[in-house]
Amino acid sequence: MSRLRHLLPIACLLLVACQPPAPRNPRPEQLHYPPLTFRVPAVERLDLPNGIRLYLQEDHELPLVEVSAMLPAGSVADPEGKTGLADLYATVLRSGGAGDYPPDAFDELLAERAIDLSASSGSYTLNLGLSLQSKDLMIGLQAMSDMLRHPRFDPQRLELARRQALEAIRRRNDNPGSIAHRTLRQALYPGHPLGRVETRGSLSAISREDLLAFHRRFAHPQGLWLGITGDFDREQLLADLRQLFGGWNGDAARRPVPPVTEKPEAALWLADKPIPQTTILFGELGIDKDNPDLYAVRVMNYILGGGGFNSRLMREVRSNRGLAYSVYSYFQIGRLLPGRFVAGCETKSGTTMQVIRLMREQMRLMREQEVSAEELRLAKESLINSFVFAFEDIHDVVAQQMRLDFYGYPSDYLASYRDRIAAVTVKDVKRVARRYLHPDKQQLVLVGHVKDFDGKPENLGLPVRMIPED
């Protein structure tokens, strides 16, 4: 009887809960999806007679055209003592006037039509961008052609750019993240251009003649790669390009890329700054694009710290313990030289050492234990199933193909990407973790309020170097 008394109210509750029968959602695993039809889109490639490489794709949805261009003249070849040359060249190439147009008139010509024309320097390339309405395409291409063929490098604009770059040096310690990333780069590539930063001296040493010499050497049609997408007529565009760039001839000098030879000693780099949170960065030299471990490294890093909430670092540091908002790791795949592995996080001063220990522990576990089959499956499926998003934007598709060819990726790189990810095994993951993760021998950068740390930085087992203030 007593049992029945207890059961009765429960039975009533159940009845109430069951009426009316609410539609119950299935579990996500129970859903069935139609197959996804997807082909890697074709991109047309052709060469102009003077050697310009062209990548084209028409797209008439919007009355817009996008252009990306590259020249093989990156900042990695800036001579010692003139660090910042490629950057300054790019800035003044764009701002210094071109053809018949002094700087103000050139800016005005573009601004009146809301034409975006940009130039910037990367490690290995000088990058140009042009974005405009299709009705202004000829004006924009003419401006780009003038900029490449007849730049004016106006001396006043050079001085303005130099002063702005000097001011940027003054301001580069304002944000803890920028101190930390700059320091890590310097620590990873000692004595190499990839590890050099602009100084007052190096910027002051750059003359207008240096920019002109840079231009004479590298701005040539045989080194120019052009990717164009959007609302244009192919035949008309080719005729326009022949008109604008025909009669321009020249040799294709690639700016030399010095090899990375020196291996840095592990160290702790410390900047004392009165802020309530510490920026923590671990780093070491990683891999370049020709490394056959590329795919296993991608999967391994997804599990370690590249997979957002699905990664171990996020789970242990943020989700389980509330010690950080952002925590991550990545391999920056070097296109020509070894790139860097970085693991980073920000945590309050009083949990700095705790988070360092946790992150090191997670790297150590990747080396010492095999990941679970479930972790491997998730990482691979995520990388494979999201591959389609590399092709969502037509200009990205064209620019991507152009870069792959420029850097000499294998021709089946995109077509075989998913299969290569699928082939990665648990053993591969452990093998590449052992090979590329060295938690005790990495560069470690801390930017924060040292006196509030939960321990002494000297006890981390690394020689301590103070980051100099400018």
Partner 1 sequence: MLRSTLLRLSTAFFILFLCSPSRAATLEDKVREHQFANGLRLLVVERHASPTFAAYLTIGVGAVDENSETRGVAHLLEHMLFKGTKTLGTTDYAAEKPLLDKIAAVGGEIDRLKNDPAADRKRLKTLRQQLTELQKQHRRFVVKDEFSRIYAENGGTGYNAFTTKDSTTYLISLPSNKLELWALIESDRMKNAVLREFYTERDVIQEERRRSYESNPGGMLYETLIANAYTVHPYRNPIIGWHTDIANLTLAETREFHRRYYAPINTVIALVGDIDFDRAVAMVERYFGDIPPGTRVPPLAVVEPPQKGEKRIHIDFDAQPQMAIAYHKPTLPAREDYVFDLIDLILSGGPTSRLYKSLVQKQQLATRVSTYGAPGARYDNLFVISAAPRYPHTLAEVEQAIYAELERLTREPVSETELDKARNRLKVDHLQGMQSNNGLARSLTYFQTVAHDWRYLARYQQVISSITASEIMQVAKTYLTADNRTVVTLSKEETQP
Report, in Å, the least distance between residue 272 CB and partner 1: 10
Alpha-carbon distance of 102 to 209, in angstroms, equals 18
104-112, 247-255, 289-297, 420-428 -> range binding partner 1 (CB under 8 A)? 104-112
Q: Binding of partner 1 at residue 155 (CB under 8 A)?
A: no
Alpha-carbon distance of 298 to 382, in angstroms, equals 11
- DSSP E strand boundaries for 310-435: 327-331, 340-348
- The pattern of x and - marking residues 417 through 436 that bind partner 1 according to CB under 8 A reads --------------------
Tell how strand 268-272 and strand 225-230 pair up: unpaired
Q: Binding of partner 1 at residue 25 (CB under 8 A)?
A: yes
Size of the site for partner 1 (CB under 8 A): 79
Selected from 21, 23, 259, 292, the binder of partner 1 by CB under 8 A is 23
Selected from 249, 320, 332, 411, the binder of partner 1 by CB under 8 A is 320
Angle at 442 between CA 441 and CA 446, to 5 degrees: 130
Q: Binding of partner 1 at residue 139 (CB under 8 A)?
A: no
Residue 70 · residue 402 · CB < 8 Å: yes
Alpha-carbon distance of 233 to 258, in angstroms, equals 42
- The pattern of x and - marking residues 44 through 83 that bind partner 1 according to CB under 8 A reads ---------------xxxxxx-------------------
- At residue 54, φ and ψ (nearest 5 deg) are -120, 135
Selected from 13, 46, 171, 408, the binder of partner 1 by CB under 8 A is 171
Q: Binding of partner 1 at residue 381 (CB under 8 A)?
A: yes
Alpha-carbon distance of 243 to 228, in angstroms, equals 16
Alpha-carbon distance of 206 to 194, in angstroms, equals 19
CB atoms closer than 10 angstroms to residue 177: 13
Question: What strand order describes the sheet that includes 53-58?
Answer: 44-47, 53-58, 225-230, 64-71, 126-133, 116-121
Q: Which is nearer to partner 1, 113 or 254 (CB)?
A: 113
Q: Which is nearer to partner 1, 8 or 325 (CB)?
A: 325
Q: Binding of partner 1 at residue 38 (CB under 8 A)?
A: yes
Q: Which is nearer to partner 1, 62 or 252 (CB)?
A: 62
Q: Binding of partner 1 at residue 276 (CB under 8 A)?
A: yes
Residue 151 neighbours by CB under 8 Å, 6+ apart = 92, 93, 96, 97, 98, 215
Q: Binding of partner 1 at residue 391 (CB under 8 A)?
A: yes
**Residue 395: Cβ-neighbour burial (10 angstroms; 0-12, 13-18, 19+):** buried
Q: Binding of partner 1 at residue 167 (CB under 8 A)?
A: yes
Report, in Å, the least distance between residue 273 CB and partner 1: 6
Report, in Å, the least distance between residue 9 CB and partner 1: 17
Report, in Å, the least distance between residue 163 CB and partner 1: 7
Q: Binding of partner 1 at residue 10 (CB under 8 A)?
A: no
Q: Binding of partner 1 at residue 27 (CB under 8 A)?
A: yes
Selected from 309, 451, 459, 468, the binder of partner 1 by CB under 8 A is 309
